[in-house]
């Protein structure tokens, strides 16, 4: 039988990516210790089961979690208020079952991208919903999320788990069109500055795309067709240092180059 930690670990897979910190509220305080062991980037705060006791500004929290809690309309409304657009609410109830009523509850409360599934194996239920974005424009949404991560971070003190690279993948085919004898190669975008080479790394997928969009428009970056995701430990062992969350202005005077990188060292992409 799954134990409490198994259920909480299932929640961890649904937390959004982050930069230096992921701002998280733990309803009831049961989940944060286990989540922090899995995600050192979490800045967790325990809150009461009674939402009327909360005192947070609207649109300031990345994620809200809860273990074995009862969903009430007032609670769902308070969670939606404190989360930023695109923020995620996830709970697990180990003794409940998957039921369409949870979808109806979250839809009625204004959530989007709702997921209701067995939490661990066929045991319990995991419920997830997101706060809708304020714009349907994909470019604006990416830029809005990207600005939540600071620019020009230091990899050594970076508390996030992953570093994202802009990648040119060859052959440029989707997985289902690859031939058995095709060899996939990756080259990552980097710069040359004062006879030194620096990898251009990003704290999240939105941050990488937010940099790439104007860089492609200006012709600074070309042929990128993928964003590779690597653990921080892998990034720290690269031959060349990482400029984390560079701005376009910070690299305009540099020569943009491509470096070979092993795709087998990458992680699965963000959903």
Confidence of residue 102 (pLDDT cuts 50, 70, 90): very high
What is residue 27's predicted lDDT score, i.e. its pLDDT? 97
Is the per-residue pLDDT at 232 higher than 70? yes
**Highest mean predicted confidence (pLDDT) among 12-21, 168-177, 197-206:** 197-206
**Distance between first and last Cα of the chain:** 28
Confidence of residue 73 (pLDDT cuts 50, 70, 90): very high
The radius of gyration of the chain from alpha carbons, rounded to an integer in Å, stands at 20
What is residue 95's predicted lDDT score, i.e. its pLDDT? 93
Instruction: Encode burial over 65-83: b for 16+ CB neighbours within 10 A, e otherwise.
Output: bbbbbebeeebbebbbbbb
Q: Which of 29-33, 60-64, 87-91, 203-207 has the lowest mean pLDDT?
A: 203-207
What is residue 145's predicted lDDT score, i.e. its pLDDT? 56
| Percent of the chain residues topping a pLDDT of 70 | 90
Q: CB of 210 within 8 A of CB of 146?
A: yes
Greatest extent of the chain over all pairs of C-alpha atoms, in Å? 61
Global pTM reads 0.64
Tokens of 119: 């939490």
Confidence of residue 100 (pLDDT cuts 50, 70, 90): very high
Convert the pLDDT of each residue in 174-201 to its tens digit. 666 777 888 889 999 999 999 999 999 9
Q: Which residues contact 195 (CB under 8 A, 6 or more apart)?
A: none
Residues 37, 161, 23, 67, CA torsion sign: negative
Is the per-residue pLDDT at 32 higher than 60? yes
What is residue 7's predicted lDDT score, i.e. its pLDDT? 95
Q: CB of 88 within 8 A of CB of 100?
A: no
Count of residues in the chain: 271
Mean pLDDT on 241-268: 94
E strand spans, the chain: 22-27, 42-47, 61-67, 83-93, 112-117, 125-130, 162-170, 185-193, 196-202, 226-231, 242-244, 255-261
What is residue 147's predicted lDDT score, i.e. its pLDDT? 55
Which among 45, 46, 42, 47 is positioned nearest to 22, based on CA atoms?
42
Report the C-alpha dihedral over residues 47, 51, 54, 57, rounded to 10 degrees.
110
Q: Give me the chain's average pLDDT, please.
A: 89
């Amino acid at each position: 039988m799954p134990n409490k930690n198994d259920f909480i670990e299932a929640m961890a897979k649904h937390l959004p990516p982050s930069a230096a910190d992921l701002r998280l509220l733990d309803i009831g305080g049961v989940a944060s210790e286990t989540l922090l062991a899995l995600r050192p980037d979490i800045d967790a705060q325990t809150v009461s089961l009674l939402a009327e006791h909360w005192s947070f500004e609207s649109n300031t929290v990345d994620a809200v979690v809860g273990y074995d809690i009862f969903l009430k309309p007032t609670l769902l409304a308070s969670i939606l208020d404190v989360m930023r657009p695109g923020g995620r609410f996830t709970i697990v109830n180990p003794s409940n079952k998957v039921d369409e009523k949870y979808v109806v509850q979250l839809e009625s409360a204004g959530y989007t991208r709702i997921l209701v599934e067995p939490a661990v194996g066929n045991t319990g239920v995991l419920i997830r919903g997101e706060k809708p974005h304020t714009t349907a424009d994909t470019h604006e949404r990416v830029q809005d999320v990207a600005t939540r991560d600071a620019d020009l971070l230091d990899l050594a003190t970076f508390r996030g788990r992953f570093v994202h690279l802009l990648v040119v993948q060859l052959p440029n085919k989707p997985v289902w069109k690859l031939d058995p004898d095709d060899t996939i190669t990756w080259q990552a975008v980097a710069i040359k500055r004062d006879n030194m080479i620096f990898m251009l790394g990003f704290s999240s997928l939105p941050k990488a795309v937010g940099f790439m969009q104007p860089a492609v428009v200006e012709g600074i970056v070309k042929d990128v067709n993928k964003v590779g995701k690597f653990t921080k430990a892998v990034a720290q062992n690269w031959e060349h240092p990482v400029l984390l969350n560079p701005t376009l202005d910070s690299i305009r005077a540099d020569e943009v180059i491509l470096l070979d990188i092993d795709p087998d060292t990458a992680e699965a992409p963000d959903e």
